[in-house]
Structure 1
Amino acid sequence: MDTQLFIEGNILTGRDAPPSHYLFKIESFSLLSKAPLPKYTSNQFDAGGYKWKLSLYPSGDKQKDGEGFISIYLALTETSSFSSGWDVNVVFNFFILDQLQNKYIVVQEWIERRYHAMKTEWGITKFIDLEMFHNPLKGYLIDDTCVFGAEVFVVKSTFKGERLSMVKEPTTYFYTWKVSNFSTLSSDQYHYSMSFGDQKWQFGFNPRGVGEGKGSYISLYLFIPASSIPDSTKLFVNFILRVKDQMNGKDFLFQSTFIMCTQIF
């Protein structure tokens, strides 16, 4: 059975059933409130497929103007394995046990909160007034013992974004491709070199040209197989293509810089 109370402008609902996801019983609360640590963090618990912890400030979170209250927060843990751009949208609420009526009281503010890499903790700085909490007629603190709880419901989660990793001293590869019997090569297809380098680069060319260069130029390309690097990877590449002048030593050079995707370039 649910009951409703009206305390200091907030509608509070009391119910018989305990919180679904976590109960946090504190014995000797007075000793905890006098301890030098400003907060106590609970053990880890599971809810909605994620790992969570409760943080309780028995004398209030003074950095957020919570002095005179109990402050309570819900933190999402073990996020290091999440891909970049992740977020988790959550609806949660906190409970405190009225031990006189044996009912779990919750402030009715079921607001959706977004957890992400820059914000892994949400909560209520002024969860309950300490004067009210210590009032024996309220039943929140009996024999120096109190009980808090939490329910956590994941609305949706998304993982999107990308990671940029730059190499300070990238490897430079040199490769020479000698093409024999050039005049006999078919112009209906590309011709490929052997692969070279860790990413298995290849040269490819058409002896009669393709596209705008068809019939007037040699078309020369640098390729990388899509299987050589992970999906959706981009490579920043600085390269030089050289056609050797075997008579006078005046080689023809083409130098460029591109950001390449995991396709043929």
Structure 2
Amino acid sequence: MGSNLSAAASTNVRTLREHPPSSYSLKIHNFSQFEKSTTSSDHKYKSRIFSSGGYNWRLIIYPQGNGKDNGSGYISMYVEIESESLMVLTPPTEVFAEIRFFVYNKKENKYLTIQGLRQIIPCDTFSNPENGYIFEGGQCEFGVDVIVSLPLTNWEILSYTEKFSDSKFSSAIKNFSELKENVQISKSFSMGGNKWFLKLYPKGDNRADGKCLSIFLCLADCDKPKADEKIFVQANFRVLDPRGSNHFQRQFNYWHNEKTLGGGWVQFLSLPELRKVYLDKEDALKVEIAFEAVSATKYSPTI
């Protein structure tokens, strides 16, 4: 298909559809005579040039099959790119295109759509008027869609950091029982290439009714995702047991984006249990987050 350019077709897939071919159609009024006429042109017929995807093409039909390509006994169909028409520019070495061939079936009033090449339809099946491909005294129709794939310009690469030099960050809240401020903000810290901070509501945020500790992991403003960006975090939130290893822990899986910079729990731990078990002798509460994964995305420029 083409001298120094190529177009690839998918493996043989057959379907019926009502919509006609969009790239090129060849209607023949006397298939028997058409078949005879190709004996003087290497048993094939080349259509006029048609354009698709910025390139010029020809539809090629072997009414008795292309014996050189294991197509004997079948209608064979190909497309050929006209590389000469591209010499005004620097021609590519390959052109990638999705190619669909069409054969009209009058009986079904639909187009048999084939993704394949050498063996489209057995000649006996095609030539039998009862099957609907030959109709009204020898008429038939072939066609093709050539959908050229443009160079890749839109992409993204998603990766995950799973190993950290120090995967944990902890923060201590002193004089917990005497706190008057409703929100506590930790110092910022870096993890997975981003800056974060913890936000705690010692008496619960407005949705907790003063019964539970609320806790959230938030992105710093300097690392706020742009539109349609997102960052995934997998971690463990813990309230540490000052007297042993019975830490209160919850698994955290969350996608941060430009509209939701923070994720966590409105009702993380009940305040009665917290006061009973998790305050040390100096009335301090220690919370910790242990990171397991942080995502990063590289992407092509958006329009």
When the two structures are superposed, what TM-score results if normalisation uses the length of structure 2?
0.42
Q: Considering fraction of residues, name the structure with more helix.
A: 2
Greater RCO (Cα-Cα under 8 Å, separation 6 or more): 2
